[in-house]
Chain A
Amino acid sequence: MKHFKLISIIFLFAAFVSSTFAGDKEDVLALVSKNIDAFNKQDYKTYFSSFVSDNTEFPYVVSPLRHDAAMWKNFIEGTASLAYVNYHQQDSEVQIYNGNTAVITSYYTFTWMEKGGQMNYQTGRSSMVLVKQDGKWMTAHMHFSKMF
């Protein structure tokens, strides 16, 4: 019983320490995960709460042109007209520089259903650049490209 108590205390302490001192990589991945979740739930307020005001994006197929913040907002909010969206990212790698810049590279699948019931599927590669502003990680740029 004594041993059990001691092990429990050590376990709880270790869990507390690891959560308190989670590194930049963990913080960045948690934010990306939160954003994906918000997008899939079509919660655009939460989604855009962690973007810098001058964010830019290269979309996948829509255009060869870079989107600015307003264009990206219109594009994302336009997905509200879809019956279902699911974006999934895997094999993410994080590069951290100077504690204030993160480059996240991943492979993604994007599935969406139109109101008429037609299913669509897309797979590709994504590059994301996050910067720390006032102690908070913010998305500055995303580039989605074809995985051929």
Chain B
Amino acid sequence: MKTLKKVSFFLFVFLILGFSFTVIAQTPVPSAEEEVIALTYKLWDAENQKDMAFRNKHVSDDYTEFNSVFSTRIDGKIKNFTLSDANFSGGTSLADEMLNPKVQVYGDVAILTYNFAGVVKDNDGKTRSSKAKSTRVYVKMSGEWKLVHANFALDPTED
């Protein structure tokens, strides 16, 4: 009887372990493509929620940017944050979406390209849309994706 109990116990443990391993093995590991797309949505959310710590963590110190507000390249994370925060005209972002996204991965670099589509509600209650063609370059540093460069350009059809 004692032996039977022992066998039942070990069988139970064995089945639990087997089930756990199966569940872990079946949990899909996100691809680099999925990771950088998810990170971009999180960065937009962090900007809307004023979560500067998250933004700071995923943008490299030597980050450079071309955008649709200033003609020339803006060098460095601090300068970029200072200008983008000062330029923010208020209102609420109602939607930030990437259309037609594509990620090219080469080892520890990921190039994300997409057409940006956004809707903002201004302080006076009016909504306006914005669209752009965007490139983001992420590099994996110490196991984390960091944004090193972006080109946020006007959609040529708005030119």
B107 on the interface (CB 8 Å rule)? yes
Asked if residues B104 and A64 are in contact (CB atoms below 8 Å), the reply is no
Asked if residues A65 and B109 are in contact (CB atoms below 8 Å), the reply is no
A62-B156, A103-B137, A105-B73 known; A98+B102 contact, CB < 8 A: no
**Smallest Cβ distance from B35 to chain A, in angstroms?**
17
On chain B, the residues within 8 Å of A62 by CB distance are 156
Asked if residues B111 and A66 are in contact (CB atoms below 8 Å), the reply is no
Total interface residues on A, CB under 8 Å, equals 32
B46 on the interface (CB 8 Å rule)? no
On chain B, the residues within 8 Å of A66 by CB distance are 100, 102, 113, 133
Asked if residues B133 and A127 are in contact (CB atoms below 8 Å), the reply is no
Asked if residues B153 and A58 are in contact (CB atoms below 8 Å), the reply is yes
B22 on the interface (CB 8 Å rule)? no
A58-B133, A125-B151 known; A146+B113 contact, CB < 8 A: no
Asked if residues A98 and B139 are in contact (CB atoms below 8 Å), the reply is yes
On chain A, the residues within 8 Å of B151 by CB distance are 58, 125, 127, 143, 145
On chain A, the residues within 8 Å of B100 by CB distance are 65-66
A93 to B65, CA, bound (A): 12
Total interface residues on B, CB under 8 Å, equals 32
B62 on the interface (CB 8 Å rule)? yes
A101 on the interface (CB 8 Å rule)? yes
Residues 40-75 (chain B) with a chain A CB within 8 angstroms: 62, 64, 66, 71-73, 75
A-contact bits for B123-150, CB 8 A (1 contact / 0 none): 0000000010101010101000000110
Asked if residues B154 and A145 are in contact (CB atoms below 8 Å), the reply is yes
A66 to B136, CA, bound (A): 13
On chain B, the residues within 8 Å of A140 by CB distance are 104, 106, 111
A21 on the interface (CB 8 Å rule)? no
Instruction: Jot down 19 A-B pairs with beta carbons below 8 A, ordered by A.
Output: A56-B102, A58-B153, A65-B133, A93-B75, A98-B107, A101-B137, A101-B139, A103-B64, A107-B72, A125-B66, A125-B153, A127-B149, A127-B151, A129-B137, A140-B111, A141-B104, A143-B133, A145-B66, A146-B156
Query: Interface on A for B, CB 8 Å cutoff?
Result: 52, 54, 56, 58, 60-66, 93, 95, 97-98, 100-101, 103, 105, 107, 125, 127, 129, 131, 133, 140-141, 143, 145-148
